Structure 1
C-alpha cells in the first residue's frame, strides 16, 4: 500500500484523498490549520507550519510520494526536503516555482510563445510609476505572489485609482505586475492530466463565469466551436509538456473577439485566445467532472500518483452546471455552522451537493458546491440560479 502525502487539508485534498483511497492508497495530510477539513475527517494529519523544516522532513520521509493542494509553500525548502528524504513531489517544485509567482508565470508564457496579455513587473514605487505611464487605462495590478479569489488585485480605471493604489501600499510595497485588461468574451479552463511516462489527456473544456473574482458557475459542455476547443487543448497540453508536469495542470483562458495590439496571436473562428494563469493541482472548475464525466479530475490525479495507466475521460449525456456555495448563504440563513438544505427537495435537477466541512462560514469563503443536470445548457444554468434563490429563502 502506497502512502501519499498531501500538503494542504482543504476541500481539494479531501476529495483527492477519497479517490486515492478507492485505489487502495493510504493518505496523510500536512496543514497548519487545527480546524482544516482534513483534520476533522482523518487521524492521519500532521499539524505544522509551512516553514517547519523538521516536521515537513518527517512528513516527506513517511510518504512514498507527495502532492499538494496548496501552492504558497517555499520552493527552496521543498527542493531541499526532497533531496534529503528522497521522496518525490508531483508536480515538481520547479513547476511550483513557475506557477506560484505571477511574474515567472507570465515570463514563461511570453518566452515560450504562448498567448499572453501585455504585462510589466515592478519591485518598487518608482518602477510602478514609470510603468503606469506606458499602460493604457484600464489595467489590472496584481501582487506577484499570494492572493486568490480576487485578493491581491486592483482594477485601475484612471490615474486617480492608481494614486489611491499607491497610497494603499506605500508603507509596505511588495512586487507587483501590471496586466492589460482583456476584452473578455468568455472564460474557460482546461485540465491536462499528464503521467510520469509523458502520456496525457485533456478533460472537456469548461466554461466559467466569475463574480467578484470568485468562480460562480462552471458549465459542460462548453458553447464554443470545435476548432476553438481543440486549439485550447493543444495550447494547454503544450504548456504541460513545456513545464514537464507530472500530475494535473489547469490552464485558465480568456477568449476575446479583440486582437491584441502588443502580440500577434492566431485567430480561431473569430476568437483570440489568451492564457490567464496556471494551477498545478485540482481546480475549482474541475469539480464538475465528479458528475459530468465518467471519472473526475481527482480520479485522474490518483491514477498518476499511483502509477496506474490513464484513460481519456468521457463526457456524460446532458448539460451540467456547477455552482459554488459561498459562506454568504450560511450568513443569510443566520447560521455560521450549518446549511439548511430543505430547498433541495424542490430542486430535483440538483444532482449533487458537496459541503467541504469548514468549521465556520465567512463572506466569500468557498464552503461547498452543487451540480445541476438538464437537457439544455440554458436550463442547467437557470436551475442553478433557482437553487441559489431557494437556499437564500431558507432563513
Structure 2
C-alpha cells in the first residue's frame, strides 16, 4: 500500500478514449501526470489533455516497452490487446501493469471469460464454441432460436455480435464475425430476463469496494441509460454484488472491474460479461457516489486506499448521448440539460461525431428514481451531437 504521491508520478493508459479521459481527470486531481498510448491515428479525448502521448500499434513490442518505461504504472482502457504482449511489456520494461497480465489472461476473450467464471462456480449464460454449420445447428436445437453469435475478442456496443434466427443467418453472421478467418466464435443462448444489471468492484491490496447494483437499459445491444440502484428487490441487488466480488476474486484482480448480469424470469442472476476497466454502466458514479469508479480506478492501480462507493443521493440515472450526425462534433440544444439542478453533462471531446457513437453522457441525481429518470430522458431528447 502507498501512502504518498510524488509529483512526478506518471500513470500510463493503453487506450485514449473517454474512459481514459475520465480516469485521467482523477489522476490529475491527485497531482499525478498522465501518459497515453493510442492505437488510433485520429485525435482521441485524452490526447488533448497531456503532452505525453504516443500513437502506435499494440503489436509493436518495442514501442510498447519504450512507452512503459516512461510510466510508473500502466493500466487499461480497453481489452483489444493480448495478455502475452502485456506480460512481455511488463517483464521487459519493469513497469507494473494492472490489471496484471495474469488476471487479464483469465478474461481476455469471451470463451476464456466464461470458463473462468464457470470454474469459479459463478452461474453464466449458456454458451458453446462453434466452428461448423453442424455445431451452430446443434446449438439452436439444444437452446432454441434465436441466439447470439459473438466474436471471442474485440466486441463492444453492438459490434462483434449478431442475433441469428435460423441457419442461413447463422452462416452469414459466422463469416462476418471472422469465423471463416480463424477467429473463435461463441454461440450464446438467449435467456428470458426481466432486467440487465451491472456492478462495479474496485480491488487492490488494501481491500475491495463494491458499488450499488444498477440497471442498464439496452437498445440494439447498446446501453442507452443506467438506473441506480436497480429497480429490483434488495435480495437480488445483494446477490449481484456478491457474485461480482467473487468474480473479481476469481481473477485476483487489481483495478476497477465491471460485471454485467441477467436477472432471469425465474429469479436467477447470471453473469454475462465482464470488463477489466471502468465501464459505461458506472458513469453515474461521478456524481452519484462518494468516490467514482474513475477515482477508484486510479486509487486501485496505484495501491492507494479505496474510496467509498456510498451514493450521494438516494437515486441516480445516466443517459448515454450518442452521435446523431456524421460531422465535426458539436453539442447542440444543451441548455435544459446544463440548467437542471443536480444535472451534469459530460461531453467527451471526440472531434468527429458518428451516428450511434458514444459522444457524451448526462447524469441526474435525486430522491425519486422514476421522477429523475423521466426528467433526464425528457431534457436530453433534443440534444444533437
For the criterion TM > 0.5, the same-fold answer is: yes
Task: Name the SS for the 2:35 alignment partner.
Answer: strand
Residue 368 (structure 2) aligns with: 376
Residue 193 (structure 1) aligns with: 202
Contact 1:3/1:28 (<8 A) preserved: yes
- C-alpha change, 1:81 and 1:160, in structure 2 (3 Å) is closer
Aligned with 1:275 (options 266, 271, 275): 271
Aligned with 1:33 (options 27, 40, 61): 40
- C-alpha change, 1:137 and 1:31, in structure 2 (3 Å) is same
In structure 1, what is the Cα distance between the partners aligned to 2:179 and 2:36? 38
In structure 1, what is the Cα distance between the partners aligned to 2:322 and 2:277? 21
Residue 355 (structure 1) aligns with: 347
- C-alpha change, 1:366 and 1:312, in structure 2 (3 Å) is same
Contact 2:346/2:361 (<8 A) preserved: yes
Listed one character per residue, the Cα deviations across residues 97-137 of structure 1 (whole Å, up to 9, x for unaligned) are: 22221000111122221111211112455544454443321
Q: Report the more deviating stretch, 125-134 or 29-38.
A: 125-134
Q: Report the more deviating stretch, 166-175 or 155-164.
A: 166-175
In structure 1, what is the Cα distance between the partners aligned to 2:250 and 2:337? 48
Task: Name the SS for the 1:57 alignment partner.
Answer: helix
* 1:233 has 2:227 as partner: no
Task: Name the SS for the 2:354 alignment partner.
Answer: coil
Residue 340 (structure 1) aligns with: 332
Q: Report the more deviating stretch, 36-45 or 60-69.
A: 36-45
| TM-score, normalised by the number of residues in structure 2 | 0.92
Listed one character per residue, the Cα deviations across residues 167-204 of structure 1 (whole Å, up to 9, x for unaligned) are: 6567545321111101110011111111124x111011
Task: Name the SS for the 1:387 alignment partner.
Answer: helix
Q: CA deviation at 1:359?
A: 1.1
Q: CA deviation at 1:341?
A: 3.5
Residue 191 (structure 2) aligns with: 182
Contact 1:124/1:174 (<8 A) preserved: no
In structure 2, what is the Cα distance between the partners aligned to 1:295 and 1:316? 9
- C-alpha change, 1:178 and 1:315, in structure 2 (3 Å) is same
* 1:256 has 2:264 as partner: yes
In structure 2, what is the Cα distance between the partners aligned to 1:173 and 1:66? 30
Contact 2:278/2:294 (<8 A) preserved: yes
Q: CA deviation at 1:229?
A: 1.4
Q: State how many pairs are aligned.
A: 376
- Structure 2 gap ranges (5+): 1-5
Task: Name the SS for the 2:382 alignment partner.
Answer: helix
Task: Name the SS for the 1:151 alignment partner.
Answer: coil
Residue 10 (structure 2) aligns with: 3
Contact 1:356/1:367 (<8 A) preserved: yes
Q: Report the more deviating stretch, 83-92 or 219-228.
A: 219-228
Contact 1:216/1:324 (<8 A) preserved: yes
In structure 1, what is the Cα distance between the partners aligned to 2:175 and 2:159? 17
Contact 1:326/1:364 (<8 A) preserved: yes
| TM-score, normalised by the number of residues in structure 1 | 0.89
* 1:148 has 2:156 as partner: yes
**Equivalent residue runs for 1:128-147 within 5 Å:** 128-147=136-155
In structure 2, what is the Cα distance between the partners aligned to 1:239 and 1:54? 33
- C-alpha change, 1:13 and 1:165, in structure 2 (3 Å) is closer
What is the RMSD computed on CA atoms of the aligned residues?
A: 2.1
- Structure 1 gap ranges (5+): 259-270
Residue 3 (structure 2) aligns with: none
In structure 1, what is the Cα distance between the partners aligned to 2:123 and 2:175? 33
Task: Name the SS for the 2:268 alignment partner.
Answer: strand
- C-alpha change, 1:311 and 1:389, in structure 2 (3 Å) is closer
Q: CA deviation at 1:205?
A: 1.1
Aligned with 2:283 (options 284, 287, 312): 287
- C-alpha change, 1:349 and 1:124, in structure 2 (3 Å) is farther
**Equivalent residue runs for 1:78-157 within 5 Å:** 78-125=86-133, 127-157=135-165
Contact 1:343/1:391 (<8 A) preserved: no
Listed one character per residue, the Cα deviations across residues 215-269 of structure 1 (whole Å, up to 9, x for unaligned) are: 11011222222222111111111111111001111110110123xxxxxxxxxxx
In structure 2, what is the Cα distance between the partners aligned to 1:99 and 1:8? 18
**Equivalent residue runs for 1:15-30 within 5 Å:** 15-30=22-37
Task: Name the SS for the 2:196 alignment partner.
Answer: strand
Q: CA deviation at 1:350?
A: 6.2
